[in-house]
Amino acid sequence: MSQQGGRPTGPEDDWWGQLYDDSTADTGPTPTADSLDDRFASAAGAVRSADSADTVPEPRTERSVPEERADWWMADDPVSGPSAPRATVPPPRGTPDAGQGHAGPTPAVAPPPDAGAGPADVSTPPAPPPSAPLPAPGSPDRPPAPGEPPSDAPPVPTTFQPGPLPPGFAHRAPQAPPAATPAVSGTAGPLASAVPTPTAPDLPVLRDAPRGYVGSGPPTYDAEPTALPPADPDELDDLVADTVLDGARHGACALRAVSVRGDSARYRGEPRRDSLLLARFGTGAQALVLVAMATGARATPGAHRAAAEACRWIGRAVGRSHARLVQDIGAGRRGDLKSGLHRLTDRSLGRLRAGAAEQGLEPEEYTATLRCLLLPADPECRTRVFFGVGGGGLFRLREGEWQDIEPRVGEVAGEPVVGFGALPAETPEGDRLTMDLGVPTPPSPYGPAPEPPREPFRFRASVARPGDTLLMCTGGLADPLRGEPELSAYLTKRWSDPAPPGLATFLADTQVRVKGYADDRTAAAVWEA
């Protein structure tokens, strides 16, 4: 670093190297370095100058302080032998003595000069003057001690009669006092034996506690996070938390939502590919609650970014149209809802495809599945609207049984219509109008390029009943819920209560693991009052 008052000699970003550069001289350079004796003399002089204002300095000896310091240091040198003791300067704190590696005798320390009387023996305190003996306890001449009742006071009862208890409780039988503990070696015998051994209080036994997993055996990975994802100092906004937990209560429903990084991603130090968004648009009975969750494509570097963008785009689109959506949900216009939400979903995912083109990626490398749930805040409206694209699950717990209400897609009813939208292939008499030579038709150079296949749109609007529990989740929880009966039975027992669980309890329930299922888990459950 430069001298005080000087200007920097290097670039502004080089301050770290200048601070730790050995070649740069310190402020106030000297021709020779200070020795240990010089530093000791400087410190001793500073202390004496500070004390000279109030105290009289003691007479100095013939030698200077550095010489006495050096003689004391050489007093126990095994090479030169013991020298005359120097008692005017005490050894500094932390200096090794004769018992820490020196063979010479310990120098004697002279007593400090005393201006008063001769030396007194401080090891034997003076005996107290004799006093009259105290009366024996219980004697009428002895006054009561502080806190002791007078002798003529009635005795204090040591037992109490039990009083009435509330219904369902019973008196506990008295227990004998614990036996005295024998004295431990190194402690006072009577005192140690008089202290009773503490006993553990009666605690309730927790029954049916979860093991942390269900199924035939424990999962392969650890239950807790292992490695953090790598971070870029210039892209810290890109970091994704391991767990997101949220909840709310609006209208006639209570909402709990969670997104947890999968066991495999925790072990490999990969970011969570699932994204979760909870948002309320509007106020009062006209408010609309949106729950959106997305999952990025597997084995792609920007999967977590694509999932987060999908949730943000659909949230922005729904928020701008929430007033119209609330009207359609209240009026039961399912056709209008399906077409409008389908259009909003296509626009949101279309922005992901445009972002992939800007990054020079294929559309399937920067995409995500999207699942959404709309909950009106009006307590009189119990219509719940689900829509989205991609895999996952939509379940309903009603009367103690799980119902898989995921909308089916890709089913075609009826027979195909011959010649619909094109010329007939043959005459009524059976003569073929054209001949199929088996040559594929090349794509038209004037037509748009074919787009990659897209996931079908899913939509469902259902009316909830009091006591229902609606669950929307990604594939990380939907797959084990369909494939492991023990997990279904466990969640049935935990969530059949009409009262919704707390956030911490909901997180623990969704984290029950199943061997063979290690993906991210994102779930949102709605308890109907």
What pLDDT, in 10s, does the model give residues 342-368?
999 999 999 999 999 999 999 999 999
| pLDDT band at residue 223 under the 50/70/90 scheme | confident
404 membership: H or E segment, kind and range: strand 401-404
Q: Are 311 and 389 contacting, i.e. CB atoms less than 8 angstroms apart?
A: no
| pLDDT band at residue 495 under the 50/70/90 scheme | very high
**Segment 285-330, tens digit of pLDDT:** 999 999 999 999 998 989 999 999 999 999 999 999 999 999 999 9
CA dist 28 and 216 (Å) reads 75
| pLDDT band at residue 78 under the 50/70/90 scheme | very low
Question: What is the phi-psi region of residue 395: left when phi exceeds 0, alpha when psi lies from -120 to 50, beta otherwise?
Answer: beta
CA dist 112 and 240 (Å) reads 70
What is the overall mean pLDDT for the chain?
A: 73
Which range has the worst mean pLDDT, 67-71, 258-262, 419-423?
Answer: 419-423
Q: Most confidently modeled of 117-121, 422-426, 473-477?
A: 473-477
Q: What is the pLDDT at residue 121? A: 47
The per-residue b/e assignment along 220-255, b for 16 or more CB within 10 angstroms, e otherwise, is ebeeeeeeebeeeeeeeeeebeeebbebeebbbbbb
Q: What is the CATH number of domain 244-405+454-528?
A: 3.60.40.10
Q: What is the pLDDT at residue 301? A: 87
| pLDDT band at residue 512 under the 50/70/90 scheme | very high
CA dist 121 and 209 (Å) reads 70
Does 228 have pLDDT greater than 70? yes
Q: Are 313 and 292 contacting, i.e. CB atoms less than 8 angstroms apart?
A: no
| Percent above pLDDT 90 for the chain | 45
**Segment 144-182, tens digit of pLDDT:** 555 555 555 555 554 445 556 555 555 555 555 555 444
What DSSP letter does each residue of 12-54 carry, written as one string?
Answer: GGGHHHHHT-TTSPPSS--SSPPPHHHHHHHHHHHHHHHHTTT
Copy the structure tokens of residue 404: 């898989």
Q: What is the pLDDT at residue 24? A: 52
Does 477 have pLDDT greater than 70? yes
The DSSP bridge pattern shows strands 513-514 and 243-250 to be unpaired
Q: What is the pLDDT at residue 67? A: 45
**Segment 170-179, tens digit of pLDDT:** 555 555 555 5
0.75 exceeded by pTM: no
Does 387 have pLDDT greater than 60? yes
Does 374 have pLDDT greater than 90? yes
